[in-house]
Structure 1
Amino acid sequence: MTDTTLKTAKFGIGAIVRHRLYPFRGIVFDVDPVFDNTEEWWLAIPEEVRPRKDQPFYHLLAENAETEYVAYVSEQNLLPDHSGEALRHTGIQEIFERDASGTYRMRDRATN
């Protein structure tokens, strides 16, 4: 019997997170309740660190010391980032606004 119960995502839109194993951090801009990428992408991850598919996966505007990019990361590999360091990813301004308390919120977007 398969457990089809969906787990509640640990991180919400606008959460600042860091990877548990690799030196990058970012801001969550979308969440998939379970894995929703290609099998090829999943199999490209080394088996010893390959995440389970039955957990939330997060779309991040990510950055490391060298570059900015979009990352797709399993919940098991993310930790909250409490460093207080500013994020520099150029895509943040497009999607988020920061309030007086420092919290990131999605910008209101006009529908077409």
Structure 2
Amino acid sequence: MTAATRFSVGELVHHRKFGYRGVIVGVDPVFAGSDEWYEAVARSRPPRDQPWYHVLVDGDTHSTYVAERHLEADTSGVQIEHPDLGRYFDRFVNGRYGRGTGSRIH
């Protein structure tokens, strides 16, 4: 059984443990990485049967793959800085990224 996802593409999030902000660019309803990656990187052993998210990290050039339990909503409404934003989004409206009508991203 797969869990319902709490966040969706374009939402701003905050990592509870590491303190960074970011934007969701992909959602997996359950862990979709390899066993090797999980063993090497997921040290807190978050559940594999819960949602995981691909996140562009604010103020950096990399993205992360994060278990839902480590994320909370970022309600600051402040845009993030990341060189790959334009690959995924062309708008920032009401504190959320997307494609289509609305204010252009910076």
TM-score (norm 1): 0.78
The answer as to whether partners of 2:10 and 2:25 remain within 8 angstroms in 1 is yes
Q: CA deviation at 1:100?
A: 4.6
Unaligned runs of 5+ in 1: 108-112
| SS of residue in 2 equivalent to 1:44 | helix
| SS of residue in 1 equivalent to 2:69 | helix
Unaligned runs of 5+ in 2: 101-106
Higher-Rg member (1/2): 1
Equivalent runs, 1:101-112 vs 2, <5 Å: 101-106=94-99
Q: CA deviation at 1:46?
A: 6.0
| SS of residue in 2 equivalent to 1:94 | helix
Q: Between Structure 1 and Structure 2, how many residues are aligned?
A: 100
| Residue 15 (structure 1) aligned with residue 11 (structure 2) | yes
Equivalent runs, 1:56-95 vs 2, <5 Å: 56-64=51-59, 67-95=60-88
Cα 1:8–1:45, aligned 2, differ >3 Å: closer, same or farther?
Answer: same
RMSD of aligned alpha carbons: 1.8
Opposite residue 53 of structure 1, the aligned amino acid is R
TM-score (norm 2): 0.82
